[in-house]
Amino acid sequence: MRAAVGNGATLAQKILARASGRAAVAVGEVVVAEPDVFELIDLVMPQYLKTLASHGISRLRYPERCVVFADHEVPSQSVRVAALKKQLRRQMQDYGITRVYGEGRHGISHQAIVEYGHVVPGMLVLSADTHATTLGCVGALAPPINYETIQALATGDIWLKVPQTLRVTLTGRLRPHVMSRDLAQRVIADLGPQLCDYRVIEYAGPALAGLDMDARMTLCNVAVEAGAKAALVEPDEITDAYLRPRTRIPYELLRSDPDAAFHRRVDIDLDGVEPMVAAPPRPDNLVAVSALAGTRVDQVYIGSCAGGRLEDLRAAAGVVRGRQVHGDVTMLVVPTTQQTYAAAAREGLLQVFAEAGAVVAAPSCGPCYGNLAPLADGDVCIGTGTTNIPGRMGSARADIYLSNAAVAAASAVAGAICAPDALGGEPR
């Protein structure tokens, strides 16, 4: 790692300067910035709007900047949540919020908002949910602010500290069976929470040419698990090709200046990345798959904003095609968004899962929020969820392992943690 000093601005500085109406901002200063977009979720909005109403606040500063997604509990699994959602429709009308993706047009907000073209390079997006760092996949700065969204909706702004940036240059190419999740886990384990906390991780380098939008979403998503304030992928031709058909918002491919003052520069060679498993209790607790081989599993989960994309569904289907999920295992497949779900259907992936004995559920945060298919005491789950903190997927006395989708799928077949190439035998 090398420190670099320069006079230019990082992408994060450029975005925060524009959003706070300044020519330039210095690292470390606190600015009051107005976001371009508020990324919102249906589960917490009823409470947020009710709280505003209880303080006599009857209008939002920028209702036209709000985009709302159904995602945490779709469809509703209790009368309580059903009633909240019913009430939310009226609340949003009262507050002039019109950009709403309800059930059936929904998806986990952090991916769906990009798919629907609401986010472009250089934007500042505030989110009510933690994994908003995902939006850095198109070069937008999206620090999660969670509960503070209430205030930001009313005032139209928020205080933000101008962060330092860690510049991660990616070289080489991922080897077969190594996925973007492996790279993302490797990055947070290498950098560590000490280095990532309150900083932006910015990805650049020649290897980006081989990383599509799915991979970029994963890289930016996982960054928050190391405490990063946000993650950014330097926008390029892939960004442009992805966004052109999806958005009418004008944008330019805004980047950090070559002489920007990065806190550190780190090089990572993709050729050296191996599939690894994050063992409990932290996402950066990486262990070789072979070291855990044979660990019994009860549940396998392909889904979440960290791992239910087409890349993941294809990899998992590739493993279970012609095979059967082990009789003692529940394998859950939850595509991240409705668009992913439709694409998986077109490719025949859902058929592969159904025939292999997996359960395919509607897009939602579901198992990774712990409300769908909760784990019981003593259960072991391996999958592509966002975190393995005890209790995240149900019982705090269940063990959660995180891996790429292929390793998780192979473990579903074996009934124990297993690398895909160790499954043995030809698919039937």
Partner 1 sequence: MNWRWQGRAWVFGDDVSNDDGIMPLAMTRQQEYDPAVLARHCFEQIEPGFAAAARPRDIVVAGSGFGHGNPHIQGFLGLKGAGIGLVVESMGRGALRACVNAGVPVLQAADLAGFCRTGDSLEVDFETGRIRNLDTGDSRQAEPMPAAMREIVAAGGGIAHMVQRLARYPRR
Binding site for partner 1 (CB under 8 A): 30, 43-44, 47, 51, 55, 57, 61, 130, 144-148, 150-151, 154-156, 159, 193, 197-198, 224, 227, 229, 369-371, 387, 389-392, 396
CB of 277 to partner 1, least distance (A): 19
CB of 229 to partner 1, least distance (A): 5
Nearer to partner 1, 92 or 211 (CB): 92
Nearer to partner 1, 182 or 284 (CB): 284
CB of 122 to partner 1, least distance (A): 22
Give the residues across from 296 on adjacent strands: 416
Nearer to partner 1, 161 or 321 (CB): 161
Give the residues across from 231 on adjacent strands: 201
Nearer to partner 1, 331 or 398 (CB): 398
Nearer to partner 1, 51 or 351 (CB): 51
Nearer to partner 1, 52 or 360 (CB): 52
CB of 330 to partner 1, least distance (A): 21
Nearer to partner 1, 365 or 380 (CB): 365
Nearer to partner 1, 142 or 414 (CB): 142
Cα 220 to Cα 284: distance, rounded to the nearest angstrom: 15
| Cβ-based neighbour number of residue 157 at 10 Å | 18
CB of 288 to partner 1, least distance (A): 23
CB of 36 to partner 1, least distance (A): 16
At a CB cut-off of 8 Å and minimum separation 6, what does 424 contact? none
CB of 305 to partner 1, least distance (A): 12
Q: How far apart are the first and last CA of the chain?
A: 48
Nearer to partner 1, 147 or 209 (CB): 147
CB of 395 to partner 1, least distance (A): 10
CB of 193 to partner 1, least distance (A): 7
Tally the residues of the chain. Answer: 428
Write the secondary structure of the chain as one string of H (helix), E (strand) and C (coil).
CECCCCCECCHHHHHHHHHCCCCCCCCCCEEEECCCEEEEECCCHHHHHHHHHHCCCCCCCCHHHEEEECCCCCCCCCHHHHHHHHHHHHHHHHCCCCCEECCCCCECHHHHHHHCCCCCCCCEEEECCHHHHHHHHHCCECCECHHHHHHHHHHCCEEEECCCEEEEEEECCCCCCCCHHHHHHHHHHHHHHHHHCCCEEEEECHHHHHCCHHHHHHHHHHHHHHCCCEEEECCCHHHHHHHCCCCCCCCCCCCCCCCECCCEEEEEEHHHCCCEEECCCCCCCEEEHHHHCCCECCEEEEECCCCCCHHHHHHHHHHHCCCCCCCCCEEEEECCEHHHHHHHHHCCHHHHHHHHCCEECCCCCHHHHCCCCCECCCCEEEECCCCCCCCCCECCCCEEEECCHHHHHHHHHHCECCCHHHCCCCCC
| C-beta separation of 334 from 364 below 8 A | yes
CB of 334 to partner 1, least distance (A): 18
Nearer to partner 1, 102 or 193 (CB): 193
